[in-house]
Amino acid sequence: MKLIARLTAATAILATTTLSAETAPNPNAAEAKAIVQEFATTLQGELQAAMKDGGPTNAIAVCYDRAPAIAADLSERSGWEVGRTSLKTRNTADNAPDAWEQKVLADFDTRRAAGEDVQPMAYAEVVETADGKSFRFMKAIPTAEVCLACHGSDITPEVAAAIDERYPEDMAHGYGLGDVRGAFSLSKPL
């Protein structure tokens, strides 16, 4: 029960999507925030059920199978490119950050090191691409206590084995409570 309560708290953290103070209100940002909230809420609901049914090893299967499916469904329904990324990826083939995402993630880490709360941390920008302008949005994912079972420094041997089986090039471990685990990343052509 204690683990479910912590996972519920993590759900609330991930579902909170506030732009940083320096970013002006923008209809694209509001739309991106709503998509992130749906992604976080859906994924966390499935993670809660998996944790309740079988602990962290079940949650790994949800992240492996369901997170990409949820992102693909949201992308198809919304017209946005929706995903997650990190400077320390678990699935490099699908989640490696591009140069813009690397810059934003590094900035998130700098902001956190300066004392800023990770929970509301977000960034939005219109960028020029080879295909024209795109609106890009990232929302930081804070590392909650429940995340440490799979992303912390003290991972059980059975969880480590389940991670290694699905993610042989895993780098997404060693996080501490409150660290920037990664970010939801969205893009939409303008």
Looking at residues 110-126, what average pLDDT do you find?
96
pLDDT band at 93 (very low <50, low <70, confident <90, very high): confident
Exposed, middle or buried, 184 (CB in 10 Å: 0-12/13-18/19+)? buried
Confidence of residue 37 (pLDDT cuts 50, 70, 90): very high
Q: How confident is the prediction for the chain on average, in pLDDT?
A: 87
**Closest by alpha carbon to 136, among 26, 37, 13?**
26
| Structure token pair of residue 109 | 């880490």
Query: Looking at the DSSP assignment, which residues form a beta bridge with residue 135?
Result: 126, 188
pLDDT attached to residue 8: 39
Please report, to the nearest 10 degrees, the dihedral formed by the alpha carbons of residues 18, 110, 137, 93 taken in order: -130
Residue by residue, what is the 3-state secondary structure of 95-155? Answer: HCCCHHHHHHHHHHHHHHHCCCCCCCCEEEEEEEECCEEEEEEEEEEECCHHHHHHHCCCC
Mean pLDDT across the stretch 118-128? 96
Q: What is the pLDDT of residue 92?
A: 87
Dump pLDDT digits (tens) for 57-78.
Answer: 989 988 999 999 999 999 999 9
Residue 1 pLDDT exceeds 50: no
Task: Give, for 188, the enclosing helix (H) or strand (E).
Answer: strand 180-189
Edge to edge, what strands does the sheet with 132-142 contain? 81-85, 180-189, 132-142, 122-129
Cα separation, 66 vs 151, whole angstroms: 18
Contact criterion met (CB below 8 Å) for 151 and 173: yes
Q: Cα 158 vs. chain centroid, distance in angstroms?
A: 24
Residue 151, pLDDT > 60, answer yes
- For residue 113, pLDDT beyond 80: yes
Residue range 147-172: mean pLDDT, rounded: 93
**pTM for this prediction:** 0.84
Q: Is the pLDDT of residue 146 over 90?
A: no
pLDDT of residue 18: 37
Give the pLDDT score at 5.
41
Over residues 44-57, the mean pLDDT reads: 90
